[in-house]
């Protein structure tokens, strides 16, 4: 059976690249097909009916024509342009952080609807927290929730309940964490070779478990963490994401730069 020549997709635009005189190639994360790259002919012309539809962080509904090398957009409709996210520079940076991680962790032709929903829920949370500082729990918790759930939905959830080396249940005390070994380590086990091992405080372990157990960003409690715990959780998640991505996160550097600006 041949696949139909035209197919539909609902997708979140991640990034775009200009090609030719007035065309662009949009990378989207779609509910139905995972990551997609589509050609939007003439979309950079001011008079184009596609103008503005492919700005990063836009939820669009598309009709797409299959092509030999690249599929082409036939029709596009904006469902949500996330205006609250785009109202402020810091929120845009947070939104692009979400887009870049989705881009880095997702694959073509691999639909993962829960991951798609997570991205949209996180952008909604970022929009609601527009204007808040990076250390505000309304900003920080949904992004850390996104980090952990992205890892979970991609099959890279760090172990938070048992020691990755000996399998013993982790008692409520200080432990250690090794992103390269797969998560938390008890205090009795020897340090695995060739991995970076960090201290893991009980408070940070509890926050990570809370992020794991909570069903959606809307269900997160308003948790005022001490700065040290917030930074510890952020650092452990970033190290885990970077371990799996195996590349630098440009948006992460951008976020850190704005945080300390
Ligand atoms: Zn152990």
* Predicted confidence (pLDDT) per residue in 241-254, tens digit: 999 887 444 445 55
CA of 162 to the centre of ligand 1 (A): 8
CA of 57 to the centre of ligand 1 (A): 42
pLDDT at 251: 46
CA of 242 to the centre of ligand 1 (A): 24
In angstroms, rounded to a whole number, what is the distance separating the alpha carbons of residues 214 and 251? 25
CA of 144 to the centre of ligand 1 (A): 26
pLDDT at 253: 57
| Residue 24: CA count within 13 A, CB half-sphere | 20
What SS3 state is found at 205?
helix
pLDDT at 1: 52
pLDDT at 116: 97
CA of 184 to the centre of ligand 1 (A): 9
Cα angle 52, 133, 92 (rounded to 5 degrees) comes to 10
CA of 177 to the centre of ligand 1 (A): 11
CA of 185 to the centre of ligand 1 (A): 5
CA of 29 to the centre of ligand 1 (A): 39
pLDDT at 28: 96
pLDDT at 254: 54
Cα angle 131, 137, 142 (rounded to 5 degrees) comes to 90
* Predicted confidence (pLDDT) per residue in 169-194, tens digit: 998 888 999 999 999 999 899 888 88
CA of 166 to the centre of ligand 1 (A): 4
CA of 167 to the centre of ligand 1 (A): 6
CA of 150 to the centre of ligand 1 (A): 26
| Residue 253: CA count within 13 A, CB half-sphere | 5
Domains of the chain are 6-80 (2.40.50.140), 85-259 (1.20.1440.120)
pLDDT at 259: 58
CA of 168 to the centre of ligand 1 (A): 6
CA of 171 to the centre of ligand 1 (A): 11
Q: Cβ neighbours of residue 172 under 8 Å, at least 6 residues apart?
A: 202
CA of 193 to the centre of ligand 1 (A): 14
pLDDT at 111: 93
Residue ranges in 40-191 assigned as alpha helix (H): 89-105, 113-128, 137-153
pLDDT at 247: 45
Residues of the chain with pLDDT under 50: 247-251, 260-261
pLDDT at 250: 47
pLDDT at 6: 95
């Amino acid at each position: 059976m041949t696949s139909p020549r035209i197919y539909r997709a609902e997708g979140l635009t991640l990034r775009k690249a200009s090609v030719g005189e007035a065309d662009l190639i949009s990378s989207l994360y779609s509910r139905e097909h995972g990551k997609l790259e589509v050609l939007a002919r003439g979309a950079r012309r001011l008079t184009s009916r596609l103008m503005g539809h492919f700005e990063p962080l836009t939820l669009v509904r598309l009709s797409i024509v299959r092509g030999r090398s690249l599929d082409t957009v036939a029709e596009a409709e904006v469902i949500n342009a996330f205006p609250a996210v785009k109202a402020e520079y810091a929120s845009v940076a947070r939104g692009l952080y979400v887009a870049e991680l989705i881009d880095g962790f997702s694959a073509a032709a691999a639909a993962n609807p829960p991951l798609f929903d997570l991205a949209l829920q996180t952008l909604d949370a970022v929009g609601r927290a527009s204007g808040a500082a990076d250390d505000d729990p309304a900003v920080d918790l949904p992004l850390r929730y996104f980090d952990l759930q992205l890892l979970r939905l991609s099959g890279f959830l760090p172990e938070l309940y048992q020691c990755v080396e000996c399998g013993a249940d982790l008692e409520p005390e200080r432990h250690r964490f090794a992103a390269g070994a797969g998560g938390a380590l008890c205090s009795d086990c020897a340090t695995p070779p060739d991995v970076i091992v960090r201290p893991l405080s009980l408070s940070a372990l509890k926050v990570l478990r809370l992020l794991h157990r909570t069903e959606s960003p809307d269900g997160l409690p308003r948790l005022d963490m001490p700065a040290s715990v917030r930074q510890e959780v952020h650092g452990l998640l970033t190290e885990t994401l970077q371990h799996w991505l195996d590349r630098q996160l440009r948006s992460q550097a951008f976020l850190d730069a704005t945080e300390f600006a």
